[in-house]
Amino acid sequence: MITTEEIKAVVASRGNAREHLMNILRDLEVRSGNNQLDPDTLKNVAGVMNIPDSAVAGFVGFYTMFRTNPRAPYIIRVCKSGPCHVMGARTIFDAVESVLGIKPGEATEDGLFYLESCECLGVCSVAPAMMVNYDLHGNLTEGRLREIFDAYRKKTPGGAKEESGAEVAGRACMIDEAGQTKRLLERIGKGLRSPAFGVAAAPDFPPASSGPLSRRGTWRNT
């Protein structure tokens, strides 16, 4: 349960205006420890921000990444859009079930991971892809899934010291294990830049596996 004082602190840090509601709710979701925005929290957010309860509830209902039911510290979102489907998204769902023993809408027995499907993540060139909280991982295989999940088990989720989750005050969370994706901040007009290293960087995806579908072309209008 997130206290009213915690909500006030988050609102004060983000700004008490509706335009900041997305980031406020993301911060509170991380603080919950199980990526949940329960009805009492939403009601308190509305009260602190002096906006109608229905406005906050409608906002959460519109954006599919938010949930009012308890989930887990780490949300696994496997992309099911066209390119990922063609490149084997279904096999990734099966692999997650094999590795973690869960299907979409379920949490692991230890309460650490929760699986969902999602629409396009915008990284079609490295399909199949998934997102763990807000960290992207591409060119997935069952072997890589095991490595990725093992790495998350060693991290400390939740709260201000979370090593993986929503960006806080514009800072980026970096994953630097070998073979994993570094999360980058996109700065308009400056391309992708890694704040941690202060230099331009490209996503650190491993090479695509060989096979008839690994040779990807570039689509263009003719």
Can you tell me the distance from the alpha carbon of 108 to that of 119, in angstroms, rounded to the nearest whole number?
22
pTM as predicted: 0.66
Tens digits of per-residue pLDDT, 167-205?
A: 333 333 333 444 444 443 333 233 433 343 333 334 444
Can you tell me the distance from the alpha carbon of 44 to that of 2, in angstroms, rounded to the nearest whole number?
9
- Residue 171: strand pairing partners: 168
- Identify whether the C-beta of residue 175 lies closer than 8 Å to the C-beta of residue 184: no
- Which has more pLDDT, 19 or 157? 19
Mapped onto helix, strand or coil, the DSSP state of residue 89 is helix
Mapped onto helix, strand or coil, the DSSP state of residue 200 is strand
Specify the amino acid at residue 36.
Answer: Q
Domains of the chain: residue spans and CATH: 4-62 (no CATH), 74-170 (3.40.30.10)
Helix (H) or strand (E) holding 220: none
Tens digits of per-residue pLDDT, 7-45?
A: 999 999 999 999 999 999 989 988 888 888 999 999 999
Mapped onto helix, strand or coil, the DSSP state of residue 30 is helix
Tens digits of per-residue pLDDT, 100-132?
A: 999 999 999 999 999 999 888 888 888 888 988
Name residue, tokens 């209008």: 221
